[in-house]
Amino acid sequence: LGNPQILSQLLRCRTGTPTFPDVYNKIRNSGNAFYENFRFFVRIVTNVIIAFQYFILHSSFLAVS
């Protein structure tokens, strides 16, 4: 247990219930992480859809000509 933060958290868990700001920060941080992952996922899906449409468009042009 070289990490002092882990040690202090263990002590806090031993001494009693976590304070409201601790809980609030934990919830907010997990929410932010979820939001960032969601945005990243949406960006990937959007890029894939655009690339797919681009590919379909060009292959149909090739088929016509």
Residue 52 resides in a domain: yes
pLDDT, one tens digit per residue, over 4-59 is 666 666 666 555 566 677 777 887 888 778 888 888 999 999 999 999 988 888 88
Q: What is the pTM of this model?
A: 0.43
| Domain span including residue 30 | 19-64
3-state helix, strand, coil split of the chain in percent (to 5) is 90, 0, 10
Residue 53 resides in a domain: yes
Rg of the chain on CA atoms, in Å: 24
Residue 5 resides in a domain: no
Residue 39 resides in a domain: yes
Domains in the chain, number: 1
